[in-house]
Amino acid sequence: MLLGLDPLLSGDLLKILRDMGHGDTICIADCNFPAHEIARRAAVPCVSLACDTPRAARAILSVMPLDSFIDHPVRRMEDGNAPSEPTEAHKDFQAVVHRSAGERWQMGSIERFAFYEEAATCAAIVATLDRRGYACFILTKGVIGADDKVV
């Protein structure tokens, strides 16, 4: 254990987050998402966390800045039955983003099958135990300036 770090952040996950550069993405997915298979095919790491997606976001956002150069550095998988309507899982995730990174970050959305393709381009996929449908998200890493603040 290390002081000041969320205990969910394993050495492997910290290395992935540290090695990501500005504009790189990471996927946080629910337990029904084919995380391990997409990661295997795309040859990207898959990290399993014993928590739900908002808890995983809280851990990751405790060390990773969001990208202020794009409109939606937080994107959700759209519910196929109501693509424009955020689910409870989406709302819970957005609340964590606001608490962790600030109110300015708005969530975008990605159609379900396009989300699978985009997840395959991420630096890693974080598989959670969240059983709520469509609780899948992609975060885009931002920049930390010389003053240690998110640019």
Task: Give the tens place of pLDDT for each residue, 26-53.
Answer: 999 999 999 999 999 999 999 999 999 9
CB 130 within 8 A of CB 40: no
Task: Note if 67 is an active site residue.
Answer: yes
Catalytic residue among 6, 79, 98, 116: 116
Task: Note if 134 is an active site residue.
Answer: no
- Tokens of residue 94, six digits: 């957005």
Q: Is residue 56 part of a domain?
A: no
* Per-residue confidence (pLDDT) for residue 67, from 0 to 100: 98
Q: Is residue 38 part of a domain?
A: yes
Task: Give the tens place of pLDDT for each residue, 67-78.
Answer: 999 999 999 999
Q: Is residue 6 part of a domain?
A: no
β-pair type (25-29, 124-127): parallel
Rounded Cα gap, residues 23 and 10, in angstroms: 22
Catalytic residue among 67, 92, 130, 134: 67
Q: Residues near 139 by Cβ (< 8 Å), separated by ≥ 6? A: 25, 26, 28, 57, 60, 61, 64, 66, 73, 74
* Per-residue confidence (pLDDT) for residue 2, from 0 to 100: 81
Q: Is residue 93 part of a domain?
A: yes
Task: Note if 22 is an active site residue.
Answer: yes
Q: Is residue 146 part of a domain?
A: no
Q: Is residue 3 part of a domain?
A: no
Q: How many domains does the chain have?
A: 1
CATH number, residue 134: 3.40.1650.10
Collect the ranges in the chain with pLDDT lower than 50: none
Q: Is residue 145 part of a domain?
A: no
Q: Is residue 100 part of a domain?
A: yes
Does the predicted model carry a pTM greater than 0.95? yes
Domain that holds residue 37: 11-49+62-140
